[in-house]
Amino acid sequence: MKIVIIGTAYPFRGGIASFNERMAIELINQGHDVIIYTFTLQYPSVLFPGKTQYSDDPKPENLKIIPLINSINPFNWIKSGLKIRREKADIIITKFWIPFMGPALGTILRIAKNKNTKNISVIDNIIPHEERIGDKLLAQYYVNAIDKFIVMSSSVKEDMKLFTTKKPVLLIPHPIYDNYGEILDKKAAAEYLRIDPNGKYVMFFGFIRDYKGLDLLLEAMADNRIQQAGIKCIVAGEYYGNKDKYDSLIKKLGIESSLILKTEFISNNEVKYYFSAADLIVQPYKSATQSGISQLAYHFEKPMVVTNVGGLPEIVENGKSGYVV
């Protein structure tokens, strides 16, 4: 089949780009003809909380990735839709994670669809973690352009009922990432990160946003039992929020010596070092749907502690692969 994927991919960075690229590779391996149309402009810089949207990693091999879409230019949406329509795709796949993308993707999909095309969406979140006025309208506009949906947690499947009850919604658990390298010896990983190879490490990994609850983990690190056990916390990820708030909390708690702060974007080729050095992955989220971090932990065979929110309890079997608290 001819399959078009519309969404984040190289030269952009992050979990969504990795997901789309890995999905494309698997579809190609199954014999399909696959092309990815990505963004020329994903987010305006004024709306992007990180340092850069772009990857330092090499371009993925054997993938056809074409920058095309400007997320804020309606004239570009029409042009992009017409170009993709000429591909005569059997299936167009889009990933949806934020209502901001609803107008661009929804318009492109309406134009790109031929009579034999099926528009399929992989939904990360249909209701965003940090809601804003108008989110539901933007998401609904996108939903109306889709024929079938794939969700990766029961909580998102339930949320979809607010937007459609007639279209098919298939639950498929988030796949385990296998494109971040093999498991390394802890000593070698720790030496690469220049930390004590004999240390005991819990790790918070990923973009630091308020809903992910890093403040809860920092407060836990101040517990006397944690201090006496000599456990340290690796915080690996870029701030997507108020850094000063966390700095102030760390100082107030007096836990500077218990933290290893690697608060920058972690490139794909370095992910294996962090997960291989850590003993336990902690996801203290205040809200969640599902998380790619959990799937990374599974790949690197690390136990997890997750909060009992959203789809996280579906991913982590309490008492076996980790603990749900």
| Cα angle value 77/80/81 (rounded, 5°) | 85
Residues 196 and 78 in one domain: no
Last residue of a domain, one of 146, 171, 196: 171
Residues 165 and 224 in one domain: no
Residues 136 and 226 in one domain: no
Q: 83 burial class (0-12, 13-18, 19+ CB within 10 angstroms)?
A: middle
Strands 169-171 and 200-205: unpaired
Task: Indicate whether 176 belongs to any domain.
Answer: no
Residues 125 and 30 in one domain: yes
- Would you place residue 179 in the very low, low, confident or very high pLDDT band (cuts 50, 70, 90)? confident
Number of domains, the chain: 2
Task: Indicate whether 72 belongs to any domain.
Answer: yes
In 73-228, beta strands by DSSP E: 91-96, 118-123, 148-151, 169-171, 200-205
Residues 95 and 228 in one domain: no
Contacts of 138 (CB under 8 A, 6+ apart): 99, 100, 102, 103
d(CA 252, CA 266): 27
Task: Indicate whether 163 belongs to any domain.
Answer: yes
Task: Indicate whether 63 belongs to any domain.
Answer: yes
Contacts of 176 (CB under 8 A, 6+ apart): 295, 298, 299
**122-163: per-residue pLDDT in tens?**
999 898 877 778 899 999 999 999 999 999 988 899 999 999
Residues 194 and 87 in one domain: no
Last residue of a domain, one of 118, 141, 171: 171
Residues 221 and 300 in one domain: yes
Residues 52 and 161 in one domain: yes
- Would you place residue 43 in the very low, low, confident or very high pLDDT band (cuts 50, 70, 90)? confident
Report the CATH number at residue 261.
3.40.50.2000
Give me the mean pLDDT over the 25-33 stretch.
95
**262-321: per-residue pLDDT in tens?**
998 888 889 999 999 999 999 999 887 777 899 899 999 999 999 998 878 888 888 888
Task: Indicate whether 279 belongs to any domain.
Answer: yes
Task: Indicate whether 179 belongs to any domain.
Answer: no
Task: Indicate whether 144 belongs to any domain.
Answer: yes
- Of 311, 302, 318, whose CA–CA distance to 205 is shortest? 302
Q: How much is the pTM?
A: 0.82
Residues 46 and 81 in one domain: yes
Residues 23 and 166 in one domain: yes
Q: Taking the CA of residue 131 as centre, how many other CA atoms within 13 Å lie in the half-sphere pointing to its CB?
A: 10
What is the domain range of residue 309?
Answer: 186-324
Residues 150 and 233 in one domain: no
Residues 21 and 163 in one domain: yes
| Cα angle value 83/86/88 (rounded, 5°) | 130
Task: Indicate whether 256 belongs to any domain.
Answer: yes
Q: 254 burial class (0-12, 13-18, 19+ CB within 10 angstroms)?
A: exposed
- Of 109, 98, 143, whose CA–CA distance to 289 is shortest? 98
